[in-house]
Amino acid sequence: MGFKIGWLALRDVSVDEGLDLVGMRDTGVTSEIVEDGYGLTALSNGWVVVWFNEFGAIDAAEVSKICSSHEGLWVNLHEGVMYSEVGYVENGVVHWFVAHDCAQGYFHLDCQGSPPYYAEIVSKLRSEQDADGGENSDVDYAFDVPVELAFAMTGFRHDLFELPGHGELVWSILERRK
């Protein structure tokens, strides 16, 4: 089954600012994982991460509005169909976007703009794909290109419960403001 989620990382904003920007409020409940709905965690490196337990819950247009005077990065991924995307916005402008859709092939990547770390990440994962049988492999390594780009930028990965330099994650469970 796998993850079917989205997440948004906001740089150098307070938790309260992050909540205001996404129109959410803290319920007062904390958890090591976000099983349903929404969560927020503040990383020690200055990024605030908002988790959406819904694939496609966040997109370029919405992030551009949210980040009209901030820096942000969004990720959508669906492990069931092996689709992943990441985009970077600063002051309301999308600077780059990368998506992988396995339905278009194991090596499919849609890259717009010039994301940092892109060439190194693609080279590493393509080498791993080739070593594992290329298109005949049971593993889709290109799915991790957007995931690894997001990790390189923010230090956050959706499938890690403990982050290097940060430790265990604690999520504040959120709900939409009425």
pLDDT in tens, 67-121: 999 999 999 999 999 999 999 999 999 999 999 999 998 889 999 999 999 999 9
Tokens of 120: 């190194």
Q: What is the pLDDT of residue 1?
A: 64
Under 8 Å between Cβ of 122 and 50: no
pLDDT digits (tens, 9 = 90+) for 11-67: 999 999 999 999 999 999 999 999 999 999 999 999 999 999 999 999 999 999 999
H or E element in which residue 130 lies: helix 118-131
Identify residue 72 by its one-letter amino acid code.
Answer: G
**CB atoms inside a 10 Å sphere around CB 109:** 17
Q: What is the pLDDT of residue 165?
A: 79
Tokens 């319920």 belong to which residue?
27
CA distance 41 to 7: 11
Q: What is the pLDDT of residue 167?
A: 82
Identify residue 177 by its one-letter amino acid code.
Answer: R
Q: Which residue has the higher pLDDT, 136 or 93?
A: 93
pLDDT digits (tens, 9 = 90+) for 147-164: 999 999 999 999 988 887
Q: What is the pLDDT of residue 20?
A: 97
Q: What angle do CA 11, 4, 2 make, to 5 degrees?
A: 120
Torsion from C-alpha of 149, 97, 54, 68, nearest 10 degrees: 110
Under 8 Å between Cβ of 53 and 17: no
Q: What is the mean pLDDT of residues 114-135?
A: 94
**Model pTM?**
0.94
H or E element in which residue 154 lies: helix 144-154
Residue 7's nearest CA partner among 65, 48, 61 is 48
